[in-house]
Amino acid sequence: MKSQDELGVPVPANKPLVVRTIKKVTKEQREYVLEKTEYNMFSFPADLTFVDFLSDSGSGTMTDYQWAALFHGDESYARNKGYYVLLEAVRDTFERGDNPKRSIDLILSGETNVKKLIDELYITSYEGGFVNGGIHQLTRPNAFIVPQGRCAEHLLFSTIAPLLKENKNITYYIPNNGHFDTTEANIVANGIKAINLFSANLMEDFPYDEMDKRNPFKGNMDLEGLEDLIQDKSVESIPLIYVTITNNTAAGQPVSMKNIKSVHKIAKKYNLPFFFDACRFSENANFIKEFEEGYKNRSIQSIVQEMFSYVDGFTISFKKDGLANMGGGLFFRDKGLFHKKFSINGDIGIRLKERQILTFGNDSYGGMSGRDIMALAAGLYEVIKQPYLNERKNQVREFARKLAKNGIPVILPAGGHAVYLNMDKFFEGTDMKIEDFGGVGFTIELLKHFGIRAVELGPFAFEWDKKTPEQRKGILNLVRFAMPRNVYSASHIDYAVAAITELYHNKEKIPKVRISRGAELRLRHFQTGLQPIYKS
């Protein structure tokens, strides 16, 4: 008799105990609503979709542990309980590896020993890491809670840009293995140029039946490109180096530890601060564990600890990784390179804190409710669990495998949180050109005919028509199906695979799309009006 681990299918990792009924909407009703909402995916009512793959951001299912933590939320204006619990959870997650303190349990277990609470939670003393504690967080703040990732990006870039310009009025560049749209927009809004350095192997073919065997880490940063950029533009024109884990803009592909180490080495050589966009850090760590030599027997916690030991700071959306429904943060190493470089005429942490208070509220809640803070802190302990991570990874992989088997051009191997279609290949043999926004036409038809929502992350989202030929090289032509954590099952995926395949076989009928309103708006894919042009 085989054992439970030898059956060839994984043991289930959880069971959903709340069910929401999907409404029986007709194609005609969706067609009407699409027209009334200018055919923009972001304007379509979610309640009228059957399956919503628009984003994995904040759209996941919380665990019972998180719901329990939520009830402990403290809505005090300053220094709510959750603030301390969250700072400890961030230290546990990113710095303590296999030796977490789990101070959250003091609160969840109703600890009444006041001395213990003071000594272990409320009046602690930490310095030198990503989260100063006690007096050091007051005098040298380095941990900033905000409602979501882009708020952290805004806080960071709007604070450093004036300092840079004051110091030297030159053109600045921030390289990334793949800037997310909001990251790029926040950088550009502050007068800095955003450069994508994708890995050269990103669009290479990969056999779908080898996804369980090997992974080429297509999310890596192009190291040669990075050296060339620094040499070409000068060290002083690069405020910092950014690496996104996993690389959402590059088809959700993971970044290897080897690549992270190499970027760290280059950053050190040129004395440049190195930051992560740490959205989906635990999914990235799980890829390292599965595929990179030397990490098989390491825990996710210790892999995360090692990854973060190479950086000077990070921005993060805690809405990713299926971690929580709300939350974001900016953290940097106390007295590290970033701290030194930007503490010009005063401590950079104090400057950031002032801006945080101006924009998001007291630093101990940062625009979050106390309940959200508790759910987020609890989520940091849930998201690193191996069975959950494996189940999620397998689900995304299975989705990609089923599409590939049907001949659909999907980027392989599958990334961590989403499946991406290669729309250049999808439209091969038709007269669709990149400026026709065929990916958008595809998402409109998929929603109209089958009630499935996906999103174009290509020439429309990344504004191909507004860019120079050089900048256009940094744009891929993709459509993304993002998987919210613990929301969908195999039946949703099978339905989606059948629908996507049907559209692929009818690709001649997919309309070109014109922007009917707001082509010039910033982050336009969230707000423009669109018009599909159907062949008569």
Binding site for ligand F0G (CB under 6 A): 55, 57, 148-150, 180, 182-183, 244, 248, 277, 279, 317, 319, 328, 482
Residue nearest to ligand F0G (CB): 149
Cα three-residue angle 200-206-207, rounded to 5 degrees: 175
Distance separating alpha carbons of residues 236 and 98, to the nearest angstrom: 38
Distance separating alpha carbons of residues 517 and 38, to the nearest angstrom: 9
For ligand F0G, give the closer residue by CB, 121 or 194.
194
| Nearest distance, CB of residue 207 and ligand F0G, angstroms | 27
Per-residue HEC secondary structure of 340-391 comes to: HHHCCCCCHHHHHHHHHHHHHCCCCCCCCCHHHHHHHHHHHHHCCCHHHHHH
For ligand F0G, give the closer residue by CB, 277 or 334.
277
The 10 Å Cβ neighbour count of residue 269 is 11
| Nearest distance, CB of residue 160 and ligand F0G, angstroms | 17
| Nearest distance, CB of residue 480 and ligand F0G, angstroms | 8
The answer to whether residues 512 and 533 touch, using CB atoms and an 8 Å cutoff, is: yes
For ligand F0G, give the closer residue by CB, 329 or 370.
329
Distance separating alpha carbons of residues 430 and 424, to the nearest angstrom: 10
- Residue 517's DSSP bridge partners are 529
| Nearest distance, CB of residue 55 and ligand F0G, angstroms | 3
| Nearest distance, CB of residue 297 and ligand F0G, angstroms | 29
For ligand F0G, give the closer residue by CB, 44 or 84.
44
Cα radius of gyration (the chain): 23
Distance separating alpha carbons of residues 416 and 395, to the nearest angstrom: 10
For ligand F0G, give the closer residue by CB, 161 or 279.
279
Query: How many residues does the structure list for the chain?
Result: 536
| Nearest distance, CB of residue 54 and ligand F0G, angstroms | 7
- Residue 410's DSSP bridge partners are 421
State both tokens at 199. Answer: 């890995």
SS3 518: coil
For ligand F0G, give the closer residue by CB, 148 or 259.
148
| Nearest distance, CB of residue 147 and ligand F0G, angstroms | 8
Cα torsion for 15, 18, 24, 29, to the nearest 10°? -110
| Nearest distance, CB of residue 397 and ligand F0G, angstroms | 19
For ligand F0G, give the closer residue by CB, 51 or 106.
51
Helix axes 438-450, 490-505, angle to 10 degrees: 120
For ligand F0G, give the closer residue by CB, 106 or 368.
368
For ligand F0G, give the closer residue by CB, 97 or 458.
458
| Nearest distance, CB of residue 321 and ligand F0G, angstroms | 10
By C-alpha distance, which of 169, 113, 208, 129 is closest to 410? 208
| Nearest distance, CB of residue 149 and ligand F0G, angstroms | 2
| Nearest distance, CB of residue 317 and ligand F0G, angstroms | 3
- Residue 314's DSSP bridge partners are 276, 331
For ligand F0G, give the closer residue by CB, 106 or 250.
250
State both tokens at 16. Answer: 């959903």
For ligand F0G, give the closer residue by CB, 106 or 352.
352
The answer for 403, left when phi > 0, alpha when psi is -120 to 50, beta otherwise, is alpha
The 10 Å Cβ neighbour count of residue 336 is 18
Task: Name the residue type at position 389.
Answer: L
The 10 Å Cβ neighbour count of residue 385 is 15
State both tokens at 53. Answer: 């793959």
